[in-house]
């Protein structure tokens, strides 16, 4: 069976040459992770998402989750996704200083509320 993620969190990542660090942003939440590698930036972002979700659950307010990133990051996400798809379709190298993808909407361990988390 094909796995399908119905509510992904859009993630854009890029290397900042000026700062010498990888950045990853969850577009729907405007949460950021940083690291010396792509993987470190994604791990920090995942932790930030889980913390924000826990806070939202604690406050019983799902609206605390949604705070979209600036439109320029959505445009860069679309451009990066298109470039990656084109590169993959033509069996070429994917650009290495940006990435676009997603995380599945995480499940919280102690979800006692009835709003949609997971």
Is 113 inside any structural domain? no
Residue 117 counted as domain residue: no
**Sequence-distant (≥ 6) Cβ neighbours of residue 60 within 8 angstroms:** 113
Inside any domain, residue 58: yes
Q: Hey, is 47 helix, strand or coil?
A: helix
Least confident window among 47-56, 68-77, 107-116: 107-116
Structural domain includes residue 3: no
Examine residue 2 and state whether it is found in any structural domain, yes or no.
Answer: no
What CATH number is attached to the domain comprising 76? 3.30.160
CA distance 43 to 76: 21
pLDDT, position 107: 58
Domain that holds residue 63: 8-103
In a domain, 87, yes or no: yes
pLDDT tens column, 55-86: 999 999 989 988 999 999 999 999 999 999 99
Q: How many domains is the chain built from?
A: 1
């Amino acid at each position: 069976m094909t796995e399908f993620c119905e509510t992904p969190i859009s993630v854009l990542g890029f290397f900042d040459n000026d700062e010498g660090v990888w950045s990853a942003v969850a577009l729907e939440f405007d949460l950021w992770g940083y690291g010396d590698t792509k993987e470190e930036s994604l791990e920090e972002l995942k932790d930030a998402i889980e913390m924000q979700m826990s806070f939202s659950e604690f406050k019983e307010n799902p609206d605390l989750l949604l705070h979209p990133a600036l439109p320029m990051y959505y445009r860069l996400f679309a451009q990066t996704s298109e470039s990656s798809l084109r590169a993959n379709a033509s069996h070429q190298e994917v650009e290495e200083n940006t990435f676009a993808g997603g995380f599945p909407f995480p499940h919280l361990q102690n979800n006692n509320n009835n709003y949609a988390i997971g």
